[in-house]
Chain A
């Protein structure tokens, strides 16, 4: 508060000086910005994912909003100012930084963090200060419990079960088509998300009549994944499913190429949707399945991908990038429709309305969950298309993977 007053008086005092009159003009013309806080993993284990999926979208959205003059509130327009803190991918640091944004910076709104654990860890602070938390990179089956405890928390990217069911439906369809047989080799990274998905997948795949012929986990950061791929190959599976994280998604794919793991369905989880995945492997990954996927054909999606490339210089990923951008659109539309900075009213507005976004119309059910998401994608001619979804209805049937060429 004192700082604020000091700064203002300083500007006024300096305004007398001719040299600084420019500064005064801009200060006087520009409305006070709406402060939007975000705690990012700029460094640490999740930094690589955050840098692909979240950060460029925040940059893009802030630029677009400010280019058109800002958000329409209080009868005028106010630009947005993004305040970012690094948490080193450390939950304790993360919570401290969120608290700081709420109490020191007194930001008007906050954006959601990257990673299920971080969203849940930060949720109590968002709830305490009534910040809407539109979680994106948070996939969990605990949505009903969480939204009951934190009524300001919304979910957009689906549930663990939904993800596994997407894989099951894809594989069942391929089996019905005669593309693959019954035998699945399944591996997972021995870390939260990988373990949870594998635990869900075992009964779900068995009930669908699949036989899991190889089922192993490997530690996070394994430097040599070749024993895993050799073991999977020796089990002679028809399909390979890996609940993997970015570095091992790359490593498993590379090793499968080297070992010549010849399956008609090859699925790796996180980061399969990254443009870097296609850059690395080129045409060899044609037909690869992975977590996520989008419908690249809608005008909104095409326009978004073009703007993303223009503003940030890189391609958006084919999964949560668009959903994260959609979460920013939801926040934007809610703020503008409430028409003033009122966080509780914004939460209410998000609860009770539907939003036109890059991923289509989004609305939230009684559990604050948007039951519309793509769950499995497949690389087809350099584009990662959705082949399974919940509530979207626009995915295409998966095709067989024809070797590693």
Chain B
């Protein structure tokens, strides 16, 4: 029971890391290597507001979301759209966007170091909370609820609204989407901005229970990449389910076998998925 609940909560944390990147890469086709830094930036906002003005991180999340949306929209519009326009192929866009966002990640690290070079550590809702006889941290539980809410909202929006359908269309084929009258640039910008907002809010929530620092972003980028590729690029369901699997397996291995093997177990699953379903759990086979 402990394993199931702790595992699901950890999976929720992973989902928060990966959903945003999935939108950015799946739809806007930007392999955003500054994804982790965006997450840490959300955490820094929570830390800073909490320690200077005692603002609840849950409240901060509502401030972070529109700011991150606007910031990421501007980044897409002015830094990345020129790359999209000049790219002759998907491959070239991938290389260009990796280089551009890699550079961006250093800039963001530099900015964050200048704001606070030490650990972003504070204590918020670090209280025991009992579900089904298992003790968990309240802040983790809340992050899990938020991850579930964001996941469901994104899923509903993508599958049951007109705008969401347009987003999915762009994710399948930018050319075909353009031919049926979808403004591909606008939809891509929105998907990128939304992805950035989801990531930053994830960071705000994660900072309540993981100690972040300005340079830690790359670890989150890697984790998000693994989860996204496991789940299938461009599919929110896939990202959430891959995150939950990873969380459950890591917790089971840590509890039953040895905490030292959690990383190894994560990579074993990743390899297994790559071997047997290279397009990811919910991914489309490329034609």
Chain A residues proximal to chain B, CB less than 8 Å:
42-45, 47-48, 51-52, 55, 89, 187, 190, 216-219, 221-224, 226-228, 230-231, 246-247, 250-251, 254-255, 257-260, 271, 274, 276-277, 279-282
Cα distance, A55 to B113, chains bound together (Å): 13
Which chain A residues border B119 with CB–CB below 8 Å?
48, 246-247, 250, 271, 274, 276
Contact present for A55 and B117 (CB under 8 Å) = yes
Q: Are A47 and B258 in contact (CB under 8 A)?
A: no
Residues on A with beta carbons closer than 8 Å to the beta carbon of B219: 221
B92 within 8 A of A: no
Separation in Å of the B102 CB from the closest CB of chain A?
13
Q: A89-B215, A218-B259 are in contact. Are A224 and B10 (CB under 8 A)?
A: yes
Closest chain A CB from B177 CB (angstroms): 36
For B255, give its contact among A48, A231, A250, A258 (CB under 8 Å).
A231
Contact B211–A47 (Cβ < 8 Å): no
- Asked whether B215 lies within 8 Å of A228 as measured between CB atoms, the reply is no
C-alpha spacing A89/B214, complex, angstroms: 13
Q: Is the CB of B118 within 8 A of A276?
A: yes
Answer yes or no: B254 CB below 8 A from chain A CBs: yes
Contact with A218, one of B136, B211, B254 (Cβ below 8 angstroms): B254
- Taking the closest CB of chain A, its distance from the CB of B68, in whole angstroms, is 21
Can you list 13 pairs linking A and B with CB atoms under 8 Å apart?
Answer: A42-B117, A48-B118, A48-B214, A217-B259, A222-B259, A224-B9, A226-B136, A227-B255, A231-B259, A258-B137, A260-B128, A276-B119, A282-B123
How many chain B residues touch A (CB < 8 A): the figure is 42
CB pair A258 B214 closer than 8 Å: no
Which residue from chain A places its CB closest to the CB of B17 in the assembled complex?
A: A223
Evaluate contact between B260 and A190: CB separation under 8 angstroms: yes
Report the separation of the CA atoms of residues A277 and B211 in the bound assembly, to the nearest whole angstrom: 11
Specify which chain A residues have a CB less than 8 angstroms from the CB of B128 in the assembled complex: 257-260
Q: In the assembly, what is the distance between CA of A309 and CA of B75, in Å?
A: 39
The residue in chain A whose Cβ has the minimal distance to the Cβ of B138 is A258
Q: Which of B92-118 contact A (CB under 8 A)?
A: 109-110, 113, 117-118
Task: Choose from B6, B110, B135 the contact partner of A227 (Cβ within 8 Å).
Answer: B6
With the chains together, A344 CA to B213 CA distance in Å?
39
Residues of A near B113 (CB, < 8 A) are: 42-43, 47
**Assembly CA distance A258 to B216 (angstroms):** 25
Residues of B within 8 A of A257 (CB): 126, 128
CB distance from B172 to the nearest CB of A (A): 33
Contact of B13 among A44, A218, A223 (CB under 8 A): A223
Query: Shortest CB–CB separation between residue A22 and chain B, in angstroms?
Result: 30
Encoded as 1 (CB less than 8 Å from any A CB) or 0, chain B from 193 to 223 comes to 0000000000000000111011110010000
Q: Check: B185 CB closer than 8 A to any chain A CB.
A: no
SS class, residues of chain A in contact with chain B: helix
B258: chain A residues within 8 A (beta carbon): 216-217
Contact yes or no, B137 A226, CB < 8 A = yes
Across the two chains, which residue of chain A brings its CB closest to B114?
A: A42
- The complex places the Cα of A247 from the Cα of B117 at a distance, in Å, of 14
Determine the distance from Cα of A52 to Cα of B258 in the docked complex, in whole angstroms. Answer: 33
Q: Which residue of chain A has the shortest Cβ distance to B127 in the bound complex?
A: A258
- Complex CA–CA separation, A365 to B152 (angstroms): 66
Bound CA span A267–B52, Å? 29
Residues in chain B near residue A228, CB distance under 8 A: 254, 259
Q: Shortest beta-carbon distance, B210 to chain A, in Å?
A: 6
Q: Is the CB of A224 within 8 A of B215?
A: no
Q: How far is the CB of B104 from chain A (nearest CB, A)?
A: 14
Minimum distance in angstroms from A112 CB to a CB of chain B: 19
Q: How many whole Å from B127's CB to the nearest CB in chain A?
A: 7
Min CB–CB distance B285 → chain A (angstroms): 32
Q: Mark B252-263, 1 if CB is under 8 A from A, else 0.
A: 001100111011
CA of A45 to CA of B217, assembled, Å: 10
- Minimum Cβ distance to chain B for residue A319 (Å): 15
**Docked complex Cα distance between A43 and B6 (Å):** 32
| Bound CA span A223–B66, Å | 27
Q: Which residues of A contact B255 (CB under 8 A)?
A: 227, 230-231
Residue of A nearest to B120 (CB): A48
**Known contacts A227-B251, A227-B259; can you find 19 more A-B pairs with CB under 8 A?**
A43-B215, A47-B117, A48-B117, A51-B117, A187-B259, A221-B219, A224-B13, A224-B140, A226-B6, A230-B6, A231-B255, A247-B119, A254-B123, A254-B126, A258-B137, A259-B135, A276-B118, A276-B121, A280-B122
A230–B259 CB distance below 8 A: no
Top-8 shortest CB links A-B: A51-B117, A227-B254, A218-B259, A247-B211, A48-B213, A48-B119, A250-B211, A217-B260
Residues in B whose Cβ lies below 8 Å from that of A230 = 2, 6, 255
